Structure 1
């Protein structure tokens, strides 16, 4: 009895957050692999950057498109089952990657399978967990889980880059498979779907509620959510700003900063270290952003985040030419703002559409994010091949972020919640 009493002092939702944090960290690390593979694949198989960027573009797009449907799948089958299934598909796909010899195989494994599987382990997972387990500290939880997704992509880079340089790119792939296999039993044994499963209420309330059963068609319900949400101007402003968010983060910097550094003679490991530094500052910045979104106007937060990110991207081409110190300044400044936009965007989505529908609606907003990222991933590769540098893509991304800042400030305060049929 004493042991049970002591154990009950730690809310189980924090264990759920911890497990999700680690899984999202590894999933994001897997998403970072193509930026490391770009140069080795070009050297070994002769595939140009536009071709490899095409596979990455498909992965990013499917990653986003999976979002609203993953919210429906988690509502229907449970968070734990879908996490285990996605991790298993990732492990199989990654295990097959070292055997590839043709470009279409890379497109299939990394464009399609990895895109769909990591799409299940994305921001929608964090939003679903936060809305189910927390009323108090919800913004902080969203910030932590969002930071893990972005930070994992950046923190894995130095390790995988070192393995690629010293042993070979295939061993970097095997490292990610090992991480997945370690986490799979952790998720299978200790992950829980809902506070009701452990006899608890959401943190911040006293009422223990049984989860509402999912009804409707798994394919049609997300489409109805899109139809109903699209009638609201706030949805389009959030989706539009998130398009520019994806355009300026994982699609551009996450995919092309390492090869851009290579154009200036900066070694891969050094460039990966810069991204890792950005990841550490992102962990601070995005977690702090979650805390701030619980306390301040999310629209104003988005205005400052997009504006400051735009200025940093406009500065990036000069930083690349000036050397490591300038890049270090960029890494710190940009890292704090890497994906700090997510917690305020989630907060605005929940305020307007309600917490029960927020995951699915936010999933469609993430689709816009990934369309932007996909556009930048492929477009920057093509422009690099045509122009011989990344200067124009970086400057364009900076100016679209400034435009996103103006869009964010036009979002109106939440009024009457939008009703989503069939959820």
Structure 2
């Protein structure tokens, strides 16, 4: 449907301040808070086990359910946002996380842990995964989309760096229930901010996306909100996108991304370093440094995505990651040698630098409207890759006595991702947007 440009107020591309930046700030707050919620479960595992006598299998099973749902919720959450709106979806998700976290202070049985930590918090945080940032960046920004996507992508590391020490210290000094209540209050406070300030689209305020020329085709065309079931939309977009090689190339590269970050480094770096004589506390500190450089790397990657072909960025990121993994055995030692610092700094800069170019390729090849759902499916593959990678690396360590072949296999996967990135066409077919806007009669 086409709207008269007179319905827009002012001349957004030329104004010094645009509401898009307020929307971005509120979105960033929600993403940072979601990262804090997810990271808090790892801190609270041991205190919960100590109080109730539950096994590590029981508590880690709830966390595993949380991770799986976190990934699989993303494409359906994107469809829900198209149907019911971003503000309502995110506000409801934050309320669910806040209530579930608060109720954990009253739990007495393992099934309640699985219900609250695994099911409710998994779905709630999954609805605020990177797909939320991709949708807001695509809708509210024409200029600096890549940079904004990079800032959103850095929210995961930011949330852990800012809130994880607070939650850990509270759990140690005041008990795990006090720490859980911090998460609950934070979620409900952010829910209020989202409900008051977040808006679904620039058109809700008579605006164009930041930096968009009023005379462009994108400015003169809007689409009516979907009336389809979110589940139907998510499956339909998957079916349509799966006909394209580009979709499978993005799914497979992001699967490798999950395998080579959360799967083997986040899960196995500390025990691998300990195998070489490094104290666990030192190895944990190195992972914290990875998080610091992750912020700089992801924001920088977003800036580059606005200027460089995203495919070539993916080639550089996966190629460099593969070379780093080949060198990991050589730099692991009882102490922190210069080579280890090189590995930590590079891996931090590269950790989720893949997100902005992957989001940009989803938008280029699948259209502005359905790119959020497509990226949701791509993101789901990331979490599946992480889970498989963690399991395979654990099996290698058990059967071989070290992680040597786990690093080598992950490196080979990264080099395969380089070839996959190069196989993606530069541009999408001219009719890429047609399936995205088709509606049932």
TM-score range, shorter chain: 0.7 to 0.9
Partner residue, 1:30: 37
Partner residue, 2:5: none
1:330 and 1:386 map into 2 onto residues whose CA distance is 26
Scaled by the length of structure 2, what TM-score is found? 0.84
1:412 and 1:23 map into 2 onto residues whose CA distance is 34
1:382 and 1:176 map into 2 onto residues whose CA distance is 34
Report the CA distance between 1:234 and its aligned residue. 0.7
**Matched residue SS, 2:146:** helix
Report the CA distance between 1:281 and its aligned residue. 1.2
Q: Does 1:344 align with 2:357?
A: yes
Partner residue, 2:320: 308
Cα deviations across residues 233-290 of structure 1 (Å, max 9, x unaligned)?
Answer: 010000000111112223443445456666656355x555433322221111111111
8 Å contact from structure 2 (residues 98, 187) kept in 1? yes
Q: Which blocks of at least 5 consecutive residues in structure 2 are unaligned?
A: 1-9
Structure 2 matches for 1:185-200, cutoff 5 A?
A: 185-200=192-207
1:106 and 1:388 map into 2 onto residues whose CA distance is 34
Aligned with 2:92 (options 66, 85, 89): 85
**Larger RCO (alpha carbons 8 Å, 6+ apart):** 1
Report the CA distance between 1:82 and its aligned residue. 0.8
How large is the Cα RMSD of the aligned pairs?
Answer: 2.9
2:42 and 2:391 map into 1 onto residues whose CA distance is 12
Q: Which blocks of at least 5 consecutive residues in structure 1 are unaligned?
A: none
Partner residue, 1:291: 303
8 Å contact from structure 1 (residues 35, 258) kept in 2? no
Partner residue, 2:4: none
1:222 and 1:285 map into 2 onto residues whose CA distance is 31
Scaled by the length of structure 1, what TM-score is found? 0.87
1:382 and 1:210 map into 2 onto residues whose CA distance is 51
Give the count of matched residue pairs.
416
Between structure 1 and structure 2, the one with the greater Rg is: 2
Report the CA distance between 1:189 and its aligned residue. 1.1
Q: Does 1:144 align with 2:166?
A: no
Report the CA distance between 1:32 and its aligned residue. 2.0
2:183 and 2:247 map into 1 onto residues whose CA distance is 36
2:165 and 2:394 map into 1 onto residues whose CA distance is 22
Report the CA distance between 1:351 and its aligned residue. 0.8
Partner residue, 2:185: 178
Report the CA distance between 1:355 and its aligned residue. 0.8
2:179 and 2:128 map into 1 onto residues whose CA distance is 21
8 Å contact from structure 2 (residues 317, 350) kept in 1? yes
Q: Does 1:61 align with 2:68?
A: yes
